[in-house]
Amino acid sequence: DVVMTQSPLSLPVTLGQPASISCRSSQGLLRSDGITYLYWFQQRPGHSPRRLIYNASNRESGVPDRFSGSGSGTDFTLRIGGVEAEDVGVYYCMQATHWPPTFGQGTKVEIK
């Protein structure tokens, strides 16, 4: 299985400051159809996960533009332009290029 490694696992951030989460995969995620099946999810405390980013860099409808995804190959990043209180939660990357789909361990974002 493809191993997804996130860092850091804990991210204390000051309100209004930017934040960045790294995700590395043990195999390249570009599929033969030219699409990179890398996703980012947010899970607020007590809630179900919510997809923020698909295909590495495309923001889902309704997701604030302070969230952005980038990267290719095996290295990916989720950036939050300026953290707001509602952004507290755990963020997961996930790959679906190779079966089975696998998630990173999660990064807990909290306010300092």
Is residue 82 close enough to count as binding other proteins by CB under 8 A?
Answer: no
Q: Least distance to other proteins from the beta carbon of 100, Å? A: 5
Q: Which of 16, 45, 62, 100 binds other proteins (CB under 8 A)?
A: 100
b/e per residue 68-97 (b: at least 16 CB within 10 A): bbebeebebbbebeebeeebebbbbbbbbb
Among 11, 25, 29, 54, binds other proteins (CB under 8 A): 54
- Report CA 42 to chain centroid distance, whole Å: 8
Give the separation between CA 111 and CA 104, rounded to whole angstroms.
21
Residue type, 112: K
Q: Is 105 an interacting residue with respect to other proteins (CB under 8 A)? A: yes
Instruction: Name which position in 16, 33, 48, 65 contacts other proteins (CB under 8 A).
Output: 48
Q: C-alpha angle 30/31/36, rounded to 5°?
A: 45
Smallest gap from Cβ 102 to other proteins, in A, equals 7
Binding site for other proteins (CB under 8 A): 37, 39, 41, 48-51, 54, 92, 94, 96, 99-106
